[in-house]
Amino acid sequence: MVDAGMTMSFHTQNRPPLLLGVATKNTSRSRTKSSTSVAVVQVSSVLQTNESGNLPESKRSSMPLTRFQAPNYILSQPNTVGIIGGLSVFSSLLFLEKLVWWSLKDGGECPPFVVCSDPTLYKELPIRSLFHSFTRSRASAQILSNNWPIIESLCRKRAFLEHSGARCIVMPCHLSHAWHDQISEDCSLRFLHVGECVARELKEAKLKPLENGSNVRIGVLAADATLMAGFYQEKLQSQGFEVVVPDKETMEHVVIPAIEAMKRRDMEGARNLLRIAVQVLLVRAVNTVIIASDELQGVLPRDDPLLKKCVDPMDALARSTIKWANATGNGG
């Protein structure tokens, strides 16, 4: 029997769709020990606010606010995680799966979370065409300077999560991190950066250079837009790593075709191209390859030896999120 947990989707002028998650207990008598799970019940509500931004009295009674400890927040636990959804619901779901899996791996519990996911807003913004309109030689600051509609949209989501009770913000979306600095500028909460998380984990791994006289080299495979934004390169270099990215020919003839093959559901073609892309970087003496693309995750079979040389930065983000939640939940 599930005693707590819900998923809600609120659609209002100032409230983008969200997902609520709380750790729950299975209290079935058939088990001698309670097990942690995530209960999800979908509820779709359309809420209208009055001119002051508050819910009318006639509408408030339909909201089960009595389920929560504090009336001002949807979730009031001190280790509540706020998740800003990305370009697709798929990336958010993948991250949630990682968050749950890494939480339960050592017998722990998944922290409470609120997900704000509204991919329809991204469809109205020229993100992909915008990035593709620049050459990779342009500075990333040039890309960021004229994109206030995107930044404002992400800032509204962040503010909404803050008001929902989140105490830490994460973004399981590679492209959104191109604007991480602007989104987190006036945020009083912990705001994790996926690039910092993966760079820190690699630093803690104490890798050794594969070539004498050189620094540890880390390869980065990603869509052209993510590489052009440059935040993975910046965070890795700040930890003393030398970053290796595909050259123009490899991007045009291997990486981009691999992503396009996945979109066509040509798994065999995508798999062969991804193997080539990884091997091209390994030949350049990189210790490991960061696959910073949702489209390229899960392409290689689990028993593929090349996977041992690859990392998914979203795993690092999930582990860092859990580490924060556990420390905060224990009074840290």
The reply to whether 89 and 185 lie within a common domain is: yes
Report pLDDT for 50: 40
Report pLDDT for 329: 72
pLDDT tier, 62 (very low <50, low <70, confident <90, very high otherwise): very low
Number of domains forming the structure of the chain: 2
Q: Is residue 70 scored above 80 in pLDDT?
A: no
Amino acid at 195: G
CA nearest to 158, candidates 179, 184, 181, 178: 184
Q: Is residue 69 part of a domain?
A: no
Q: Is residue 121 scored above 60 in pLDDT?
A: no
d(CA 166, CA 78): 8
pLDDT tier, 72 (very low <50, low <70, confident <90, very high otherwise): low
Instruction: Dig out the tokens for 103 from the structure.
Output: 């939480």
pLDDT tier, 152 (very low <50, low <70, confident <90, very high otherwise): confident
Listed in sequence order, the DSSP H helices in 105-230 are 119-123, 127-132, 140-145, 148-163, 180-184, 194-204, 224-229
Q: Is residue 7 part of a domain?
A: no
The reply to whether 162 and 234 lie within a common domain is: no
For residues 75 and 127, the model is more confident at 75
The reply to whether 187 and 319 lie within a common domain is: yes
Q: What is the mean pLDDT of residues 238-252?
A: 96
pLDDT tier, 123 (very low <50, low <70, confident <90, very high otherwise): low
The reply to whether 106 and 249 lie within a common domain is: no
pLDDT tier, 42 (very low <50, low <70, confident <90, very high otherwise): very low
Q: Is residue 33 part of a domain?
A: no
The reply to whether 320 and 286 lie within a common domain is: no
Under 8 Å CB-to-CB from 302, ≥6 apart: which residues? none
Q: Is residue 67 part of a domain?
A: no
Q: In what order do the strands lie in the sheet with 168-170?
A: 18-21, 113-116, 81-84, 168-170, 190-191
The reply to whether 321 and 190 lie within a common domain is: yes
pLDDT tier, 145 (very low <50, low <70, confident <90, very high otherwise): low
d(CA 176, CA 171): 7
Asked if residues 322 and 98 have their Cβ atoms less than 8 Å apart, the reply is no
Q: Is residue 166 scored above 60 in pLDDT?
A: yes
Residue numbers of the domain that contains 290: 198-312
d(CA 258, CA 175): 18
Report pLDDT for 86: 80
The reply to whether 293 and 147 lie within a common domain is: no
